[in-house]
Amino acid sequence: MVKMSGKIYIVGIGPGASEYLTKKAIDTVNASDYTVGSTRAIELFEDVKGKIPFNVKDLLDKLEEGVQLACDGHTVSILSTGDPGFSGVLNTVLRISKEKGFDEKNIEVIPGISSLQLAAGKCHIQWDNANVMTFHGRENIEEILPVINNGKTTIALPSRKVKDMAQFLLDNGVDPERKVVVCERLSYPDEQIVEATLKDIAQSEFTYMCIMVIY
């Protein structure tokens, strides 16, 4: 008997609130046999079949489980906050799929509204003219230094705490009076948009769910 190939959808769920979910994302998850995602992401959808929740520690195991289910012929949605292609799970899922011999032609990306887009919208920034950078989960923070004074606004996903990133910039000679806007928990009821100087941001506490806009 010929084994039917399954399908993987990598679904962007937007910045967090259900009003930013696309109809395409909802329809895709509803039609899937299994859905892999953080508990918070899965809870955005009603009537999810075959829930496979992950947390930070077991993320890779659960992604592998999802890809294996697709290899076995099932339709699997893998949820990613914001857009899967901006600091999301896209590359990781592609890598695991390749390792397992799952045909990339059977992978479809459903784009979502990125937290970056929402931050740019809140700050009235035409983001095609901004330095768009992500340091999330990476050790590449030095890459901000060559661009931070190039005259463009920088929109960045911080690597660690916002205050540490601000301190890094201060330590590397960036003007302490530079204007910074921190967009925290965008789209949630406790969303905060905080405008301050770089030196004040270096003294402030925020959650990990922030975008930094450096003017």
Ligand X SMILES: C[S@@+](CC[C@H](N)C(=O)[O-])C[C@H]1O[C@@H](n2cnc3c(N)ncnc32)[C@H](O)[C@@H]1O
Output the smallest distance, CB 126 to ligand X, in A.
18
Q: Which among 158, 61, 70 has a CA at the least distance from the CA of 108?
A: 70
C-alpha span between 20 and 82 (Å, rounded):
9
Strand partners, 132: 155
C-alpha span between 188 and 174 (Å, rounded):
31
User: Which residues lie below 8 Å from residue 168, measured CB to CB, with a gap of 6+?
Assistant: 141
C-alpha span between 166 and 199 (Å, rounded):
7
**CA separation (Å) from 90 to 80, 86, 210?**
8, 8, 21
Output the smallest distance, CB 153 to ligand X, in A.
17
Q: Which residue has its beta carbon closest to ligand X?
A: 82
User: Which residues lie below 8 Å from residue 136, measured CB to CB, with a gap of 6+?
Assistant: 87, 157, 158, 159
Residue numbers of the site for ligand X (CB under 6 A)? 15-16, 80-83, 86-88, 114-116, 136, 157, 183, 185-187, 208-211
Output the smallest distance, CB 183 to ligand X, in A.
6
Output the smallest distance, CB 32 to ligand X, in A.
20
**Sheet of strand 154-157, all strands in order from the earlier edge strand to the far edge:** 131-134, 154-157, 210-214, 179-184, 192-197
Output the smallest distance, CB 105 to ligand X, in A.
24
Q: What are phi and psi of 182, to 5 degrees?
A: -105, 125
- CB-nearer residue toward ligand X: 7 or 185: 185
Output the smallest distance, CB 123 to ligand X, in A.
12
Tell whether the torsion through CA atoms of 47, 190, 180 and 166 is positive or negative: negative
